[in-house]
Amino acid sequence: MMARRSNIPSLLDRLPLVRGRIEADADLAPRAWFRTGGLADILFEPADEKDLADFLAATPSDIPVTVIGAGSNLLIRDGGVRGVVVQLGAGFSTIQITDDGIIHAGAGVMDVKLASAARDAGLTGLEFMRGIPGTMGGAARMNAGAFGGEVKDIFAGARGIDRQGRYCDFTPAEAGFAYRHSAFPADVILTRISVHGPPGDRAAISARMAEIAAERSASQPVGARTGGSTFANPLEQKAAGRKAWELIDAAGCRGLRAGGAMVSEKHCNFLINCGTATSADLEQLGEFVRSRVMQHAGIELHWEIQRLGESGGQP
């Protein structure tokens, strides 16, 4: 049982009233696909954009604020996360489609739901989102990509709220997309993502989405407790276009274990919680894989999974 923290009542007293949901000493493990991790001092699920903006404007600047999405590409350390963790829920899960083919999606919309909405509207070019787990906010933040597409290919704009509670709008040029990277300010919580796609044939779109789903199921451990691709594909010249999984496999890491964590046999750029893993097990195994690849190939792998919080079994 994780220890409860004595500073929580005083922290709660410093936070404004909200219309959404606030929970103290919130267990974050069920909110991460690895199903590991510690407690958040405070978990806040805002009712809508205004609730979030008002909260940020009135929250003292010395209280850390961290946002999480669906937890699909996230490793929450065992010591938990200090301050306030914001998770965007139902109030950020709407989709609106305009007559000119622009889709406005709340940052909490799941990527697969966006792909389905585009298909239903007869818009093509968004099929690749069927193969990306997580929410649109996280996908935009990291320029997520798979199966030949990236967010930058479909991005039309975004809206967010900064730490002072001010609304911010971003154009494609301001997004500053690069491989698994964007230029959105770190203190901005994205609340709405706008994307576009040209008209297409619904049957062809559906067929492509089915292909992507089948390919993902055949090549990735989709039924396991995992966090998606662990490391980004290296960009340095000596990597010569090699994928992260190829480097991991060549270094003899497929199937390696640390405690309850394992490098997937099916796709070795995925770490798996076999049932008893801690976040420390998963991070230790990931760091060992990085060191083996460096020793074997002289190439440094960089974490694609976002790691949050403090180490240690007790908060």
Q: Which of 187, 202, 218 is the last residue of a domain?
A: 218
Q: Which of 162, 186, 218 is the last residue of a domain?
A: 218
Please enumerate, as own/partner, the contacts of 183-188 that have beta carbons within 8 Å and a separation of 24 or more. 184/140, 184/141, 184/158, 184/160, 187/162, 187/163, 188/160, 188/161, 188/162, 188/163
Q: Which of 197, 218, 239 is the last residue of a domain?
A: 218
Quick one: 229 and 297 in the same domain?
yes
Distance CA 194, CA 106 (A): 9
pLDDT tens column, 140-151: 999 999 999 999
Mean pLDDT, residues 143-170: 97
Residue 160 maps to a domain: yes
- CATH number (domain holding residue 29): 3.30.43.10
pLDDT tens column, 49-96: 999 999 999 999 999 999 999 999 999 999 999 999 999 999 999 999
Residue 234 belongs to domain spanning: 223-308
Question: What is the pLDDT, as a whole number, of residue 80?
Answer: 96
Question: What is the pLDDT, as a whole number, of residue 1?
Answer: 43
Residue 40 maps to a domain: yes
pLDDT tens column, 225-240: 999 899 999 987 677 7
Residue 236 maps to a domain: yes
Contact 212, 128 (CB under 8 A): yes
Quick one: 105 and 211 in the same domain?
yes
Percent above pLDDT 70 for the chain = 97
Rounded to 5 degrees, what angle do the CA atoms 276, 280, 286 make? 100
Residue 159 pLDDT exceeds 60: yes
- CATH number (domain holding residue 180): 3.30.465.10
Question: What is the pLDDT, as a whole number, of residue 240?
Answer: 75
Quick one: 251 and 273 in the same domain?
yes
Q: How many domains does the chain have?
A: 3
Residue 1 maps to a domain: no
Please enumerate, as own/partner, the contacts of 253-257 that have beta carbons within 8 Å and a separation of 24 or more. 253/288, 253/289, 253/292, 253/293, 256/285, 256/288, 256/289, 257/285
Matching residue, tokens 């954009």: 49
Active site residues: 180, 229, 304
Quick one: 258 and 303 in the same domain?
yes
pLDDT tens column, 242-291: 899 999 999 999 999 999 999 999 999 999 999 999 999 999 999 999 99
Question: What is the pLDDT, as a whole number, of residue 315?
Answer: 40
Quick one: 66 and 116 in the same domain?
no
Residue 180 pLDDT exceeds 70: yes
Residue 63 maps to a domain: yes
Question: What is the pLDDT, as a whole number, of residue 5?
Answer: 61
CA distances in angstroms from 213 to 53, 132, 287, listed in the order given: 37, 10, 30
Rounded to 5 degrees, what angle do the CA atoms 98, 125, 195 make? 40
Question: What is the pLDDT, as a whole number, of residue 276?
Answer: 96
Quick one: 100 and 212 in the same domain?
yes
Quick one: 21 and 77 in the same domain?
yes
Residue 313 maps to a domain: no
**211 Cβ contact partners less than 8 Å away, ≥ 6 residues apart:** none
Residue 171 maps to a domain: yes
Quick one: 109 and 157 in the same domain?
yes
pLDDT band at 10 (very low <50, low <70, confident <90, very high): confident
